[in-house]
Chains A and B, each alone.
Chain A
Amino acid sequence: MELLVASAIGILTASGLYLVLRLRTFPVIMGTSLLTYAVNVFLFASGRLTVGAPPILTDATRYTDPLPQALVLTAIVISFGMTAVVVMIALGAYLGGNDDQVDDLIPASDAEDRT
């Protein structure tokens, strides 16, 4: 199971990073979403992987660490909100400028210098 979780985090991070390095907003936002999924699983795994144990300290000796679950919950909510915000701003920029490149526009004065 460790191998499965670790490779899932690795693949998600790698594809996320690749997408983040694209030049258009849609792939970049997809990339950040993948990265946040990766980090959620990573946070979940930071309390060690235990199967079939309650996240509460009973008289049983086996239990799952409940704190990472709380952390993941917070992280999910925040990343969900942030992604919604960035989608809205990116849509606004796209509809206003009719162009969804992420990098800087070259100002008119600079463009003259370069040609």
Chain B
Amino acid sequence: MIHWLILPIVLPAFLAPFIVLAARYHITIQRVFSLFGAVALIAVGLGLSVEAASGEVMLYRLSDWAAPFGIVLVGDRLSTLMVTLTAVLALFVLLYVIGSKWDERGRHFHALFQFQLMGIMGAFLTGDLFNLFVFFEVLLIASYGLMIHAGGTVRLRAGVQYVLYNLLGSTLFLFALGAIYAETGTLNMADLAQRVALIDLGETVGIRIAAVLLLMVFAIKAAVVPLHFWLPSSYAEAPGPVASLFAIMTKVGAYAIIRVYTLIFPPELAATADLHTTWLLPAALLSLALGMVGVLAAKQLDRLVAFSVIGSMGMVMVAIALFTPEGIAAALYYIVHSTLAAGALFLICDLVRAGRANLDLTAQPQVAGARLTSAMFFVAAIAMVGVPPLSGFIGKLLIMDAAVQNPYMTWIWAVILGASLLSLVGFGRAGSTVFWKARAVEAEEDTAPATAPGVLCYVGAGGLLALLAAHTLLAGPATAYATAISQQLFGPERYLTTVLETPGKLSDGKEEAH
């Protein structure tokens, strides 16, 4: 049994209380431990990814109880990739936080940050649906604290909306879990995969309702239209680096949809076969279109980026809704790209605040450090819009290529291309207003010039951009790996046998000698 698998959850779970209890008044110690945690998580994530790359499915049984009875953690190619991606994003966000001193504007930033990481890592690794709910709550309750970090009435109001919306989402999740348990008598994902397939086609009412409820819950997390209303305000009002970390949270929803709807309710399952084409695909196309219209209509830079996140999640969902191996592979490539691009854009938004009264898209005096900030905005916008040469373009190409065989190919292509044009215009207008027109505006003489953001801020945002460039240059190996992940997802035999047939306590009804 590989004990490494639980480390991404245990490490932040120990660091966070330590930071609260022992290092409460020592910001330097908090920063050192927080950074140490992120670097260690990257190391563990990379180690697990190397292990999983061979196609091996790692299993960790908590307290050694055998699978359907105890909770298991499962590490396959997909989960280890997401763990590594989260850890990498967390490191650069932390560098930015330390550089911009965001952590000094309120209390307990680093502790909440570690709890947030614990929840996200747990959600990616768990092999049990109820445990997934618990980790969702862990990441949510930490995100509530992070979202209202540093306070302020506007932020608190947005926080109330965010918390209430997610509270309703959690309630819906519990209803779905109750329905699934009532129908099948299990909540272990591998066990569910086998039992759902056995349900007689005439008696699938309950399980179909559960499948739709579950899809809605994950769609709320992934901010798919019409369940996206929580996202724009909360992402725009959250502190910049927190919004940047939240870029991975929408992907938790996407991950959960991929996991549950390839393993438990696969596309060939007769009871839920039409779910993806009837509901998910139109909703995804709508989010893509609405997100990019929002980019065009936004009056503030942070809202513009928030809407571009909705649009890019729409793009991910379009690829997922195809539910072909090619579609999922394209979605995975795009998920990595979209996380890095959205993370970088939110950090750059925060950089733009230096020397500006607000983020309104109006001509105001030039921001401090405009030369570098505007260049980075340019690169990040290119990536997000998806024009050559960066990875957004490649990802979009992969998705469109995967959609060729789909009966709705015309719609998919039309919406993707139209939305790209809209976002291109939206980002172009925003960039030229914020950075270009600013040259014509004279700063008022009596105000002292704002200091440019520190080097670490640029390292944080620039690091994510560098990763985007690497994601583009290594597109060949990256797509090959995404294809390997998707093959593993569509051939879950190894996952099922590893989870259900590895002996532990209570397997075969009797206790094994240990």
Give me the interface of A with B, judged by CB distance under 8 Å.
20, 25, 28-29, 32, 35-36, 39, 42-43, 45-48, 65, 67-68, 71, 74-75, 78-79, 81-83, 85-86, 89-90, 92-93, 96-97, 102-105, 107, 109-110
Contacts and interface: CB of A to CB of B under 8 A. Distances in A.
Contacts of B156: 89, 92-93, 96-97
Contacts of A65: 185
B151 A81 contact: no
B62 interface: no
A102 B164 contact: yes
B168 interface: yes
A110 B141 CA distance: 32
A67 B167 contact: no
Nearest to A44: B178
A46 B179 contact: yes
Interface string B205-221: 00000000000000000
B160 A74 contact: no
Interface of B: 130, 134, 137, 140-141, 144, 148, 151-154, 156-157, 159-161, 163-164, 167-168, 170-171, 174-175, 177-179, 181-182, 185, 233, 299, 360
A65 B154 CA distance: 47
A32 B160 CA distance: 13
A43 B180 CA distance: 10
Please classify the interface of chain B as helix (H, G, I), strand (E, B), loop, or mixed, using the class held by over half of its residues.
Answer: helix
Nearest to A28: B164
B177 A43 contact: yes
Given A36-B171, A43-B181, A89-B159, 18 more contacts: A28-B164, A32-B171, A42-B175, A45-B178, A47-B182, A71-B177, A79-B170, A82-B140, A82-B141, A82-B170, A85-B141, A85-B144, A86-B164, A96-B153, A97-B153, A102-B164, A104-B233, A105-B157
Contacts of B134: 74, 78
Contacts of B161: 102-104
A72 to B, nearest CB: 9
